[in-house]
Structure formats: structure tokens, C-alpha cells
């Protein structure tokens, strides 16, 4: 796991609570947000990899890399 990854991709801009299927803050789906704490390391790694690819495809840094 890369050292720059925090415990969670959450950046406190969650829009899934407002009804969005995909969070505008971190890029996780509603299900990924809801199940994050129950996921095992393999499932989390799959989400991390998908998110990293998602932000790379958009051409912007992953949001968790920008939080201070």
C-alpha cells in the first residue's frame, strides 16, 4: 500500500448522504462508503485501485493527497 494513502479515502465532502450514488468528494460509491469499515484489506485495496485510476483518468490528483 502506498505511504500516501490515509486510513480512508474520505475527504469530508460526502455527497452520498445527499442521495448521490457516487461521492463527489472521494469517488466511492454509496455502497463502498457504507461498507468501508466492514471491508477486509483485499476489498479495500480493490476500491483504492479503482479510485486511483478514476482520478488519474480525470487528470487530477486524488483528493486525499490534497488534504492537509
Sign of CA dihedral 54, 6, 23, 68: negative
pLDDT at position 57: 94
50 CB-contact burial (10 Å; exposed 0-12 / middle 13-18 / buried 19+): middle
Cell 494513502 belongs to residue:
5
Nearest to 14 by CA among 36, 31, 30, 35: 30
Residue 3, all three cell numbers: 505511504
pLDDT tens digits, 29-48: 999 999 999 999 999 999 99
Q: What is the pLDDT of residue 2?
A: 55
Q: Which of 19, 24, 60 is nearest to 9 (CA)?
A: 24
Amino acid at each position: 500500500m502506498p505511504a500516501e494513502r490515509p486510513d480512508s479515502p474520505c475527504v469530508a465532502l460526502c455527497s452520498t448522504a445527499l442521495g448521490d450514488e457516487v461521492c463527489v468528494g472521494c469517488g466511492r460509491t454509496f455502497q463502498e462508503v457504507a461498507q468501508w469499515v466492514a471491508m477486509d484489506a483485499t476489498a479495500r485495496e480493490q476500491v483504492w485501485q479503482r479510485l486511483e485510476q478514476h482520478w488519474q483518468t480525470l487528470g487530477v490528483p486524488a483528493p486525499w493527497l490534497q488534504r492537509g
